[in-house]
Chains A and B, each alone.
Chain A
Amino acid sequence: MIGIQPIDQYARDISDEKQASVIDGSSKGTDKRYTVLHKDYPDPDALRKLAASIKDHTLHYLQDYLAKAEQSLTANGVNVHYAATDEDARQTILSILRSHEVTQLTKSKSMAAEEIHLNPFLLENGVECLESDLGEFIIQLDGDEPSHIVKPIIHLNRRDIAKTFLREGITDQYNDDPETITRQARVHLRQKYMQAQACITGANFVCADTGRFALVTNEGNSRFGMAPVPVHIALIGIEKIIPEEKDLAVFLNLLGRSATGQQLTVYTEFITGPRSKNQPDGPEHVHVVFLDNGRTDVLASNCKEILRCIRCGACQNVCPVYRQASGHAYRSTYGGPVGAVLSPILFGSRFPELADLPKASSLCGACNEVCPVDIPIPDLLLRLRDKAKRESIPSAGAIPMSPFATLATSPSLWRTAMTMSKAMNHLPIQVAPIKPLQDWLGQRTLPDSHGGDFRKWMKTRKEKGQV
């Protein structure tokens, strides 16, 4: 049945203010990325392709590199855990926290943690988990969901945030000056860092050769989180492995530039393991939880290239559909082009429910053009559309195509239809009782049909011997 797609409906219903925030934030992200990347690299495409090949190589030998990483991490004194599912990950983290009698912790931004809905689970189990990234902190206060991989509150403006701070008692006076807002958050968070007994982070890259893992932030919040606590848990998707430390040169240079148009993020931390005897602070216990949660299935699918993703959000920034609809329209942790591919297949059993996401694209290819690891996102979206059709998943956007195929494989029928289409010029087709046609023609004026005129012209020329 032909009807309005959920994401289109979402974009229709979204408030003008929210949409303006998303469009403004994402357009700026796209411009900054372009300027910085092209200023520093004469041929950014070569770098993107190199990054893609390193990721492909690693994914091809993922089991080997995981084993190597585990070995290196263990040698560094890190406890390594594997979680096959989101539930496994939650239980593993809870049991680590219980073994250290943790009831209060801080958490820096982690999409993997969002993916397994860690915060509500910990709260249900009596552990207070405070988000220390400013954006995520605001999301937590609002009971909201992040709408962008890198800029979780891209959908909010400073007035929204000032109202939240007043409502939640972070301040007793409304002030929407961004610097003031940041200072208020800082005062609040500083106390919490000192009270916490553990911290949870993600990681951007894990080097298999040395077991060192890298974590990038712009606020230094993960650093603050780690300094005063005895326990650090890093929840890391298994696709975050890279073979060697020297590969960081490629990825860190691409990540900052692609994500925020920075040559490097303000803080880049390299974590080798628990604090050594000579170090004045830092956790005594470091746990790495490697999260599969469907990644192995994705690796075996025809969309495995999506696992190259380094979560920079450049595809979201540039995507015209994302800009109109916002990340929340995608009904999942990951929005925008990357989410339209990843969400339906990462949470395998949710494919039927999320099979409309890959349709939310004009297939313009801007996402592929900006992707630091050259993921052919439009191709993957198309493969998923094919999958949905093959699995007969009903979708609001399915236009029956077999009549078209019949027409387009019957040349004489086709030629007749072309000539007949001229009749449309004299018919009030906009009143035809077909909703999508009415919608389409409501917004656009169709040109007059010249059906078959070109064929006639060619034929006449041929007959006159002009060709």
Chain B
Amino acid sequence: MATQLQRPTDKRVLLMGTCLCDAFYDDTAKATVEVLEHLGVSVEFPDNQTCCGQPAFNSGDWAASRKVARHCARVFAGDLPVIVPSGSCAAMNFHGNILQFEENPDKAIDSLANRTWEVMDFIYNGLGIKKWTGKFESPTRIAFHRSCHSRGTGSGEATLKLLESIGNVTVTPFGQDEQCCGFGGTFSVTFPHISGRMGSLKLDNILETEPDILVSGDMSCLMHLSGLAITQGRPVKHLHAIQILRNSLS
């Protein structure tokens, strides 16, 4: 993962809602807005946004993914920070895009890369909020799945530290936490067997610790894991880390 540049922080931000929140997880996007507003940040949602382009990029169809990336860079043009409730989509903006434009660098693409923050990273490292003042009513055990696209970024540590600082929350470690959940977007479609096995192993490790809630910074991992868990008859309550921050406030 490339080293991220010094990115600007501001009290006004643009929200990149992600296609998964657009289609399935509206509450994660709402929680992002609510938490940021709670911190005094005003959030704008450019209505023409669609997707970061990652499905085409990971499939190797860079002609297609560059088109989507250019659209995305246009929609989020300007100098405001772009906040994303997904380590994966954020990494697409600041890493994947640089890779697919390496032969023909593009100023708009670079600008988007330099302004993009995964939301937990933004709160912890951007806004400098090192402790979360929220509290849960009863003791809550959280299993935190560090999503793979946040490797090498500040997001993992930021999320862990913020979760741990919530009253009544215990983050319970589980085995082989460096292992991927097996989603990988189109990977789960073209490698269904391996993807399913990886997910089941991840669930075995997580469920062994009997968490109350499975938490991640990526709804894609959670969609895959909870989808497997339900089909396997062992459903697990799952939430995005930003939902945990929001829920601990009420």
Contacts and interface: CB of A to CB of B under 8 A. Distances in A.
Given A408-B71, A409-B67, A454-B26, A389 B191 contact: no
A450 interface: yes
A405 B67 contact: yes
B104 interface: no
Given A321-B194, A366-B148, A386-B62, A454 B189 contact: no
Nearest to B1: A365
Interface centre among A379, A404, A415, A450 (most CB of B within 10 A): A404
A447 B226 contact: yes
B71 A409 contact: yes
A74 B241 CA distance: 62
Nearest to B95: A379
A389 B60 contact: yes
B60 A361 contact: no
Interface residues of A, number: 71
A360 B59 contact: no
Given A366-B179, A389-B62, A444-B228, A408 B22 contact: no
A320 B231 contact: no
A362 B68 contact: no
Given A409-B50, A448-B24, A454 B64 contact: no
B231 A404 contact: no
Interface in A307-359: 318, 320-321, 324-325, 359
Interface centre among A407, A440, A453, A454 (most CB of B within 10 A): A454
A69 B25 CA distance: 60
A8 interface: yes
A405 B231 contact: no
A361 B227 contact: no
B152 A27 contact: no
A439 B197 contact: no
B24 A5 contact: no
B43 A440 contact: no
B139 interface: no
B223 A447 contact: yes
A436 B23 CA distance: 20
Interface string A400-421: 0110110111110011001001
A450 B21 CA distance: 8
A444 B224 contact: yes
Given A5-B191, A321-B194, A447 B182 contact: no
B23 A11 contact: no
Given A8-B192, A387-B60, A407-B50, 13 more contacts: A7-B194, A9-B193, A320-B180, A364-B151, A366-B179, A388-B60, A399-B186, A405-B67, A440-B188, A442-B231, A446-B227, A454-B22, A458-B45
Interface of B: 1, 17, 19, 21-26, 29-30, 33, 37, 42-43, 45, 47-51, 53, 55-65, 67-68, 71, 75, 96, 99-100, 148-149, 151-152, 176, 178-180, 182-184, 186-198, 201, 223-224, 226-228, 230-231
26 contacts: A11-B193, A321-B194, A325-B194, A361-B184, A362-B148, A369-B151, A369-B152, A379-B99, A382-B99, A385-B60, A389-B60, A389-B61, A399-B59, A401-B56, A404-B64, A411-B47, A436-B189, A436-B190, A436-B192, A440-B188, A444-B224, A446-B227, A447-B24, A447-B226, A449-B23, A455-B45
